[in-house]
């Protein structure tokens, strides 16, 4: 039973570029959330996808966008990269919107913006 998988694991981009990160949820899960984790901080919620729609969004600018595919996998896109976007980007998956469903995280994608 595969857990949450993310790709790529590491990448380096230049300011102003665009990046796409990918996530496959744990088998059987249909909800995907993305979090940003800066060095020395806890993860911060970016947005959540369920039934191919963005359901909830945290305090992130429109440069951050996403998509969920029919197979429940998801992408996170960040446009016009800033140095401050350098962080670990985590994908989390869960099942539906029921209370207290365990939320599992992937290993993350390390993004460095230079």
Partner 1 sequence: GESVGLHLPTLSVQEGDNSIINCAYSNSASDYFIWYKQESGKGPQFIIDIRSNMDKRQGQRVTVLLNKTVKHLSLQIAATQPGDSAVYFCAENIGGNTPLVFGKGTRLSVIA
> Which of 91, 88, 84 is CA-nearest to residue 66?
91
52-91: contacts with partner 1 (CB under 8 A): 55-56, 58, 88, 90
Position among 22, 45, 65, 79 found at the interface with partner 1 (CB under 8 A): 45
| Distance, CA of 58 to CA of 62 (rounded, Å) | 11
Instruction: Determine if 48 is a binding residue for partner 1 (CB under 8 A).
Output: yes
Nearest to 44 by CA among 84, 74, 4, 5: 84
> Is 11 an interacting residue with respect to partner 1 (CB under 8 A)?
no
Count of residues that interact with partner 1, criterion CB under 8 A = 36
Q: Which of 64, 28, 70, 29 is nearest to 46 (CA)?
A: 64
Which member of 76, 92, 111, 113 binds partner 1 (CB under 8 A)?
Answer: 92
Q: Is 44 in the site for partner 1 (CB under 8 A)?
A: yes
């Amino acid at each position: 039973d595969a857990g949450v998988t993310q790709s790529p694991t590491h990448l380096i981009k230049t300011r102003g570029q665009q990046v796409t990160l990918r996530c496959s949820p744990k088998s059987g899960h249909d909800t995907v959330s993305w979090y940003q984790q800066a060095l020395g901080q806890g993860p911060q919620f970016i947005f959540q996808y369920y039934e191919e729609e963005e359901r909830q969004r945290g305090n992130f600018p429109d440069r951050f966008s996403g998509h969920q595919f029919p197979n429940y996998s998801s992408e996170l896109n960040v446009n016009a990269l800033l140095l401050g976007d350098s962080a670990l980007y985590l994908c989390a998956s869960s099942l539906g919107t029921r209370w207290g469903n365990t939320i599992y995280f992937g290993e993350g994608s390390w993004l460095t913006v230079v």
